[in-house]
Amino acid sequence: LEILPLSKLNEVYESGRRFYVGYTDPSTSEQHPGWPLRNLLGMLSRCWRGSKERKVLPLLAYRRQARKGQLWSSRSLVFSVRFGGDAVERPRFVGWERNAAGQLGPRMVNLSGNMDPKRVAETAVGLNLQLMRWRLAPTLNLEVIANTRCLLLGAGTLGCNVARSLMGWGVRTITFVDAGRVSYSNPVRQSLYTLSDCENGGRHKADAAADALKRVFPAMDARGVVLSIPMPGHGVPSGSEDTVRKQVEQLEQLVAEHDAIFLLLDTREARWLPTLMACARGKLAINAALGFDTFLVMRHGVGERSEVVSDKLSRCGEGPSTSGDGKFVPGGMPSTSGKSPSTSGEGPPASGDGPSRSTKELATSGNGQSVSIGGPSTSSGEAQLSVDQLGCYFCNDVVGPADSTRDRTLDQQCTVTRPGVSMMAGALAVELLVGLLQHPEKGRAPAGTGSWDAPCESPLGMVPHQIRGFIGRHHYMTPACTAFSMCTACSPAVVSQYNADGWEFVVRVLRDASYLEELTGLSRLHAETDLDQVWALSDSEGD
């Protein structure tokens, strides 16, 4: 038995060998062959139309049917067809249907949605979200999530986890910003990288992360930007001012192009410039920072700081808490330490070692009760802060950002944190964003603190200002802190100076971080604090 192509038909016919011309027959009728026979005979008639010999062609109509789990071909037909020598006209096409214009013609069917793996994946990835809306949250707005453009500053442990969670929620536009390269210690903790990304010196993290997202889901609009973010106190090397200026301009352009900015950087001072830019442009900024067994996830207030907040925090322009004669009252500041706290993780887990005493802060105690320290309250007893009152990452600092890595050894500059902490913080950061997007006021949603009887306008529940986690005790808090009128990142004095001077302001801060303390009044506040301490010492000696 030999199977030959149809082009060998004349050769086999002339040789006198026994043969059959076979075709696949879809018909189930025992008396009538299927439609493909018509096309086959039409083609053979045109091939033999010049021949005077009448030819008899044996045909095999192969039919295969499945019965009881087995394939059978017993219903196949064998018959002969006689060809005459007369010329045969081309048969007319039949089976046309009227198209949209009402004319007879072929109908085209696009099967790419069922045959193309990329198109199939694009349809399938949204099924879980659609099911969520269908069964559990009918008011869930999936379109606003998909259309949100997210900028991830940092493509390390937090950046990888945040990106995967954003994909799960249906976000389709993600941009990574990072200047580092993938090292051999990264793939086990940073889920978007593999061993091949570490070879030959390592790929840039931003590019490797963007390519990894496209491999997971080809329809992702993911890109990587290799960019080093200028930081206060790190200076501007001689001859590189133009390069640093281009970095600042590129970062500003990226912030302007995106809707949500995630601050996932290694150091505290690296978050200052993106925080300032997001505040100046009214962008939603979400911060995630890690300690060894602690984490902080918070959103920054959106919009201009109101005069009411500034008046409540600063009397007569002297400071956040003053006495009747305008002198500073010790202990009235958000943080009483002389240095900005820092950790060895991906940024410090908190912007202060303790709760603020002068700011209006809402915290949740260990027994789950809501503790209100000032601030407006709803009818249900739940205290909430409006968005223009919410502070940023630097609002609990009484010193300006500086080079936090100068006095650290190499081992202290590495990220030291429990592996699961980054996954928790990354997931909560994304959930905070999605909760804000579902709120009627979006990024301007007021902050709640987790009271069970508080009204929730978002279908996904409360949208807090901060989420602080302590894994060693498996304890979480959702405090809400007001903005600080002397904040080095979001105060009106800093934002207005940045809007007015732009690059000149930024380069001055990069070269001299103490300029921020002078601009905001923190340096004067420090001097008054030292003076009060001297008076206290004098009184104690007199006693």
* DSSP symbol at 11: H
Strand 55-62 versus strand 21-24 pairing type: parallel
Nearest in space to 160 (alpha carbons), one of 211, 119, 113: 211
Q: Which H/E stretch holds residue 514? A: helix 514-520
**Cβ 151 vs Cβ 260: under 8 Å:** yes
Separation between Cα atoms, residue 163 and residue 155, nearest integer Å = 9
Active site annotation includes 414: yes
**Rg of the Cα atoms in the chain:** 36
CB 319 within 8 A of CB 525: yes
d(CA 346, CA 126): 32
- DSSP for 19-49, please give it: --EEEE-----SSS--THHHHHHHHHHHHTT
Locate 312 and state its tokens. Answer: 């409540």
Q: Are 88 and 103 in contact (CB under 8 A)?
A: no
Catalytic residue chosen out of the listed positions 47, 414, 456, 490: 414
| CA–CA dist 287, 274 (Å, integer) | 11
Q: How far is CA 73 from the centre of its chain?
A: 55
- Report yes or no: 354 and 341 within 8 Å, Cβ to Cβ: no
Q: Which residues have a catalytic role annotated? A: 414
